[in-house]
Amino acid sequence: MKNDGFFKLAVIVGAISWMAIFAFVPNVLVFLASFSSTSSANFIEPGFSFNNYARLMDATHLGILLSSLRLSGLVTVICLVTAYPFAAVLARTPKPLRNTLLLLVIIPFWTNSLVRTYAMTAMLNSSGIVNNVLLALGIIDSPLAMMYTPGAVVLGLVYTLLPFMILPLYAALERLDRRYLEAARDLGASPWRAFWKVVVPLTMPGIVSGCMLVFLPGIGMFYVSDVLGGAKAMLLGNFIRDQFLTTRDWPLGAAASVTLTVLMGVMLLLYWKSAARLGRKEA
């Protein structure tokens, strides 16, 4: 047991320093950068001002921020509404079939999202499958211009992110004790009321984590808006990328990134609150 303390110490020190270097320091640097300014000589000129946050609030930037939040919010709602009944059916399917279906959800979940975004172009292109089918059926006479529209970006984001909504909802719904639902029904609740008053609160952590896993990446996935939206549809992700790589206004990009991080913090708090409330009730 001679090297007992050494191994333990090495692992703990290693873990702490690794987390400090790759998790803590980078975020502090971005946070500091968001208060600094830029100069012709340097990407970042140290300083302290709220200037970048003020610039983020001017008409153009605020417009991008709001449209990005709206787009991603819409995607989140569509995913939630589509995934909830799907996950509910999945959770009630008998065992062997359920595992197969689950595997079928996991495959797109792990498939490269750029590949999946690209696959969407094969559907939406002017000579793509959707137009071909509609033309062949005689529903339209000339191809619809579906690519490079905000609608295409929304569809692309829903397509890539849907499995990220299904899986946490499935986990929550599978854990749901159906006796609670039966009790509510026995006590005279209508199916609708039982759903809102019993099922939704009990699956709230799943709902919140699903929404986080869709909403946050939805804001950042700049390649989806590049490939399907052309130059028109702007996500906050495109904006941040451009500030870092094209415009070279790092402080402004950092401020936008901090805003996104704060948004994530708020959602995480919501998640922990809903999970903690449930934990208390069950205890």
Partner 1 sequence: MRKLRVLYVTLVFVFLYLPLGVMIAYSFNSSRFSMAWKGLTLDWYVKLFGNTALMQAALHSLLIAALAATCSSILGTLIAMALQRWRFPSRKVIHTSLFVMMMSPDIVIGISLLVLFMALSLPLGFWTLLMAHITLCVPFVSITVYGRLQGFDPHVVEAARDLGAGEYEVFRHVVLPMVFPAVLAGWFLSFTLSIDDVIISFFTTGPTFEVLPLRIYSMVRLGLKPEVNALCAIMILITVVAVFVSQRFLKEK
Is residue 190 at the binding interface for partner 1, with CB under 8 A as the rule?
A: no
Q: Among residues 109 and 180, whose Cβ is nearest to partner 1? A: 109
* Residue among 156 and 202 whose Cβ is closer to partner 1: 156
141 binds partner 1 (CB under 8 A): no
User: Least distance from C-beta 261 to partner 1, angstroms?
Assistant: 6
The answer to whether the beta carbons of residues 45 and 248 sit under 8 Å apart is no
SS3 content of the chain, % helix, strand, coil (to 5): 80, 0, 20
Cα–Cα distance between 169 and 163 in angstroms, integer?
A: 10
The residues in 111-130 that bind partner 1, with binding defined as CB under 8 A, are: 111-123, 125, 127-129
The residue (of 75 and 227) whose beta carbon lies closer to partner 1 is: 227
Map the footprint of partner 1 across residues 160-179, applying CB under 8 A: 162-163
Number of helices and strands in the chain (H, E)? 15, 0
Closest approach of partner 1 to the CB of residue 180, in Å: 21
Burial 21-59 (b: 16+ CB within 10 A, else e): eeeeeeeeebeebbbbbbeeeeebeeeeeebbbebbeee
140 lies in the site for partner 1, by CB under 8 A: no
Using CB under 8 A as the binding rule, the residues of this chain from 65 to 84 that contact partner 1 are 82
Interface stretch with partner 1, choices 7-15, 46-54, 59-67, 193-201 (CB under 8 A): 7-15
DSSP per-residue letters across 157-181: HHHHHHHHHHHHHHHHHHH--HHHH
Measured distance CA(95)–CA(109) in Å, rounded: 21
Of 23-31, 63-71, 169-177, 185-193, the window that binds partner 1 (rule: CB under 8 A) is: 23-31
Q: Which of residues 192-251 bind partner 1 (CB under 8 A)?
A: 212-213, 216-217, 219-223, 226-227, 237, 240-241, 244, 250
Closest CA to 157 of 252, 55, 226: 226
Residue 141 CB, nearest approach to partner 1 (Å): 18
